[in-house]
């Protein structure tokens, strides 16, 4: 996977997480990946799939960035 893409999506995930205290890291990450894949943030009951490999990589990098 493109490491620059993964890192930029991880940063975007953290920014979204900080903007909305109602989200958990996993949900914020899924929303960012959804927007990247489908071109828009998910809406209520949106069940379109996202790239699970990309999701897991972004989630891992975001967790690492939050630990520092």
**pLDDT at position 53, please?**
95
**pLDDT at position 54, please?**
96
Q: What CA–CA distance (Å, rounded) separates 22 from 60?
A: 20
What is the residue whose two structure tokens read 């890291």?
Answer: 25
Give me the number of domains the chain comprises: 1
5: pLDDT strictly greater than 90: yes
pLDDT digits (tens, 9 = 90+) for 28-64: 999 999 999 999 999 888 888 899 999 999 999 999 9
Q: Which long-range contacts (CB under 8 A, 24 or more apart) does 49-52 make?
A: none
**Phi/psi of residue 57, each to 5°?**
-65, -45
Separation in Å, CA 12 to CA 40, 45, 65: 14, 22, 11
User: What range defines the domain where residue 42 resides?
Assistant: 3-67
């Amino acid at each position: 996977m493109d490491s620059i893409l993964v890192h930029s999506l991880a940063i975007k995930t953290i920014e979204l997480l900080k903007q909305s205290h109602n989200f958990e890291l996993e949900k914020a990450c899924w929303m960012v990946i959804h927007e990247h894949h489908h071109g828009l943030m998910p809406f209520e009951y949106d069940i379109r799939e996202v790239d699970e490999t990309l999701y897991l990589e972004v989630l891992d990098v975001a967790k690492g960035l939050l630990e520092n």
